[in-house]
Copies of this chain bind each other. A is one copy, B any other.
Amino acid sequence: MSKAALVVGSVAFDDLDMPSGNFRDVLGGAATYSCIAASLVSEPGTCRLVGVVGADFAEAHLDMLRARGVDTAGVERKAGKTFRWHGRYSQDLASRESIDTQLNVFADFRPKIPDAYRKNAVVLLGNIHPKLQLEVLAQVDRDAQTLVMADTMNFWITGEPRALADVLAKVDLLVINDEEAQQLAGVKSVAQAARAIRKQGPKRLIIKRGEHGALLFDDAGVFFVPGYPLEQVLDPTGAGDTFAGGLAGYLARTRDRSSHAVRKGMFYASALASFCVEGIGAERLLAVKKGDLDERLAAFTAMVDYGGALGFVE
């Protein structure tokens, strides 16, 4: 049985205008963050990256990913430039604006899943056109053991509702943020939104709330992992993709689709996301050692350890 996590999405260069300085040509893209995160929790060689880069994408970046155990055979190199995004964050990092988006080779991205990538424990459909997400699913084998995770965004929710509905019908675990959930469901209450979205297909829904953690809704009930109160946050870029990738990597390694496994995986996901925001781009994430992650996991679990049962009368 496969332990692979297939990650399909963007690979990019980001220009980041941060309160702490301006950073140019930072390696980014949702799939990049997701794979780096997955590689920190999954077995070497089991994270498979499918994306597209341009002629300007240094082989050294791919070498770096391969050195971490990411399988890059699915990364297509095309003539032209790599996807570029230029973003500017507010002083408190709570909001950001896109200064410039150049899709470049990503504009015509049609995911081609190598034959060797057909069997996976987890398929993570990054935030791309829902029709492309469907194309990916058409190219992979899927059995009862395959977990399909997906992300999406406001642009597709409003612009491609039908294709997105087709995707949702095929997704096991949707991972989106608060705003997206509200928009997708058309209701404000997160509990109501979760119920409405789960009726559209996903058996499980995770709603990411940035520094405020993440909520899981499934048949076992509501579950929550907090965000960690960090000393310093430098750059939130990629934190959500890191969360999704970390979770995908964990679930691929354990090949366990139970609510229990998803709950545990969310701690890994949240811990990895907490590292991500501590550095510019993926720099801090790339420096995470086994001991670092263990330590942060311990801090996370201590954060919710109230020590025993509660009851009205004790």
Contact = CB atoms under 8 A, between A and B. Distances in A.
Contact of A312 (B209, B226, B290): B290
B303 A224 contact: yes
B312 A297 contact: yes
Q: How many copies does the complex hold?
A: 2
A60 interface: no
Contacts of A58: none
B267 A92 contact: no
A41 B313 CA distance: 9
B229 A222 contact: yes
A188 to B, nearest CB: 6
A311 interface: yes
Given A260-B307, A263-B306, A312-B290, A229 B301 contact: no
Contact of A222 (B189, B212, B299, B314): B299
Interface stretch (A6-14, A140-148, A190-198): A190-198
Given A231-B189, A290-B312, A308-B264, A303 B222 contact: yes
Nearest to A309: B301
A312 B299 contact: no
Contacts of A267: 306, 310
Interface residues of A, number: 52
Contacts of A190: 229
Nearest to A303: B224
A45 interface: no
A159 interface: no
A20 interface: no
Interface string A285-314: 000001001100111111111111111111
A298 B312 CA distance: 10
Contacts of A230: 189, 191
A174 to B, nearest CB: 16
Interface string A159-195: 0000000000000000000000000000011111010
Given A188-B92, A190-B229, A229-B215, A264 B223 contact: no
What are the nearest 5 A-B pairs in CB distance?
A304-B304, A212-B212, A263-B306, A191-B229, A224-B226
Interface of A: 41, 92, 188-192, 194, 209, 212-213, 215, 221-226, 228-233, 254, 260, 263-264, 266-268, 290, 293-294, 297-314
